[in-house]
Amino acid sequence: MPTSPLSEVLGQRLLQLRNRRELSQGELAARVGSTAATISKYERGVYEPRLEMLGRLAEAFGSTTDFLITGRGPDSEVEAIVPRLEGLPKELRSSVLEFLDRMLKVHEITLQRKPKKRKSPK
C-alpha cells in the first residue's frame, strides 16, 4: 500500500513524540483505545488516523491536532509544563520564571557572540 507524504510526516511526528515520552506502542495504544499494530501502521505511514483518533493521539501527547498534522503550533513539551507551573505557589513560580528568563537571555547572548562563518575564496 503506497504512503502519502502527509502520512509519512505524521507518522514520524507520532514516533518522535512517543519516543520522547518513553512510551511503547502498546502503552500509547492503551491510552488512545487502539492496538500496538495500528500505532505501528500510523508511525510507518501505512494508515492515517481518523479525525477522532487524531484527537485522542493529540490529547495523549498533550499536544494539538494542528501540531500533529503540520508540526506548527505550540511545542507540546512547553505546553504540557504550563499547568504545572501555574500550580506552584506564587513565590516559587516567580523564581522558576526568573530562572527561565535568565537562561533564555544567556542563550540569546551566546547566539549573538558566535563567529559568523566566512565564505571560502574561490
47 vs 34: CA distance, rounded Å? 13
pLDDT computed for residue 114 by the predictor: 74
pLDDT computed for residue 99 by the predictor: 95
pLDDT computed for residue 75 by the predictor: 58
pLDDT computed for residue 24 by the predictor: 97
pLDDT in tens, the chain (122 residues): 546 777 889 999 999 999 999 999 999 999 999 999 999 999 999 999 999 999 999 999 988 888 898 887 765 567 667 778 888 999 999 999 999 999 999 999 988 887 766 666 65
pTM check: above 0.75: no
DSSP H helices, 36-89, are 36-43, 51-61, 65-70, 76-86
pLDDT computed for residue 119 by the predictor: 64
Identity (one letter) of the amino acid at 105?
K
Question: 3-class DSSP state for residue 43?
Answer: helix
| 71: alpha, beta or left? (left if phi > 0; alpha if psi -120 to 50) | left
Burial label for 24, CB within 10 Å (0-12, 13-18, 19+), is: exposed
Grid coordinates representing 104? 533564555
